[in-house]
A and B are shown apart, each in its own frame.
Chain A
Amino acid sequence: MNPLLTFVVILIGFYGLSTSSNIIKSVFCVTIIESGVILLFLNLGNLDGGVIPIIGDALPVGGIADPLPQALMITTIVIGSTVTALALMLCIKVFHHYGTVEWAEILSRESGK
């Protein structure tokens, strides 16, 4: 059941991405989708329970949660933050070039030439 609820978050992010009128809003929605994808990976690695994947001398009885998705997602968070920073820096440049951050106005200026 948990992966389904997480998938709803991703779909809300997609909805916001397609209806947002403003560049900053689109970047926010990309952040939502990213968090949803990370949570979905962790949900799927934790389907049949288990403990935190840090082991002592003896193996835990109930098994462990899958450590592979967790290892992939740690790098995703750090990379995601820097990519967000790159997108926002581009936003500032776009504002000072076009004078606006609304998608509709930028597209009409581009096609008007």
Chain B
Amino acid sequence: MGNLDMLSLTAYALQVLLIIMAISIVVHKNNGTIIILITTFSLITASLYVINKAPDVAIAEVAIGSAIIPLIYVISISRQREFIVLDKAMDDFIIADNAFTGVGYVLLKRFTDFYHLELNICNDVRLCSLGAGRDQLLCEQTNVDLIVTKDDERNVYILKGKASSVLTYKLEAMARDYDNIEVVKFKDRDFGD
């Protein structure tokens, strides 16, 4: 009989621990820490399932909650810190003297540091070879946030972004000081049709 009391005591202790974990997940501000907390949360629930005479459910919870759930959270959180720029101009706007010192790179770096984002510049050959008429489609179909092109006649760099994004407006405000940079916003169309 003493054995049974021990079991129910463990159950109460784990339930109180579960409530504490739930509160800490709700009040925490940093999403990266929450991933660790939610993994711990799911392990505690798995042990409670065993105590509640459900070993089948506990196996499922451990298998799902220990690897797959943290992985998809980590990827989706790291993706939400990124600002993807497609460089179509391919001259010294971004890379000058074989280093990231071009005037455009300095502007974008200042912008992304200010809003705690991570700058990610790609110049995929297949994407850059697409015509200028497909820029809007490219922006909507892929995750590219900004497209850099060059107008040779006026010697002006054009940054194209989505009109729906808050970041495009913020970038426009920041680029007002530069003479040879202008920001163009694509007209908004319905999302997800």
Question: How many angstroms between the C-alpha atoms of A64 and B145 in the bound complex?
Answer: 57
Report whether over half of chain A's contact residues are helix, strand or loop; otherwise say mixed.
helix
* Interface bracket on B: 35 or more
- B68 touches which of A36, A81, A109 (Cβ 8 Å): A81
Give complex CA distance A65, B75 in Å.
Answer: 39
Determine how close the nearest CB of chain A comes to the CB of B3; give it in whole angstroms: 13
Q: Mark A31-43, 1 if CB is under 8 A from B, else 0.
A: 1100110110011
A81 to chain B, nearest CB (A): 5
A29 to B31, CA, bound (A): 12
The smallest beta-carbon distance between A43 and chain B, in angstroms, is 6
Contact at A5–B16, with CB atoms within 8 Å?
Answer: yes
Point out residues on A near B: beta carbons under 8 Å: 1-2, 5-6, 8-9, 12-13, 15-16, 19-20, 22, 24-25, 28-29, 31-32, 35-36, 38-39, 42-43, 45-46, 50-53, 64-65, 70, 73-74, 77-78, 81, 84-85, 88-89, 91-92, 95-101, 105, 109, 113
Query: What would be 9 A-B contacts, judged by CB atoms less than 8 Å apart?
Result: A13-B22, A15-B26, A31-B69, A35-B42, A45-B52, A52-B54, A92-B143, A96-B84, A97-B165
